[in-house]
C-alpha cells in the first residue's frame, strides 16, 4: 500500500514538473482560474507552484554540476 502511494506521489511530482517545463518553453499553462471551487483552485495552484520550485532547484543543481553543460543551440559536440 505504501509503495503505491509513493509511486502515485512521484508520478504527480513528475507531471507537475513537466507542466512547469511546458510553461517555460511554450507559455502554455493550465487555466486554474477557471476552477470554480476556491479550495480546489488553491490546491491546483500550489500543485503547479511545486513543479516550478522543483524545476528551479533542478536547474540550480544541474548548473552547478560538472555532469551537465549548456548547449547554446550548437550541435557541434559530436
How is residue 32 written as a grid cell?
486554474
Q: What is the DSSP letter of 33?
A: G
- Of the listed ranges 6-10, 52-56, 74-78, the least confidently predicted one is 74-78
pLDDT band at 51 (very low <50, low <70, confident <90, very high): very high
Quick check: 54 pLDDT over 80? yes
Tell me the DSSP string of 40-66.
HHHHHHHHHHHHHHHHHHHHHHHHT-T
Give the integer Cα–Cα distance in Å for 22 and 16: 10
Q: Model pTM?
A: 0.81
Amino acid at each position: 500500500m505504501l509503495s503505491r502511494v509513493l509511486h502515485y506521489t512521484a508520478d504527480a511530482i513528475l507531471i507537475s514538473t513537466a507542466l512547469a517545463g511546458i510553461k517555460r518553453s511554450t507559455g502554455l499553462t493550465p487555466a486554474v482560474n477557471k476552477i470554480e471551487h476556491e479550495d480546489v483552485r488553491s490546491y491546483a495552484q500550489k500543485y503547479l507552484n511545486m513543479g516550478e520550485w522543483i524545476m528551479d532547484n533542478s536547474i540550480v543543481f544541474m548548473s552547478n554540476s560538472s555532469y551537465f553543460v549548456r548547449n547554446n543551440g550548437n550541435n557541434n559536440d559530436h
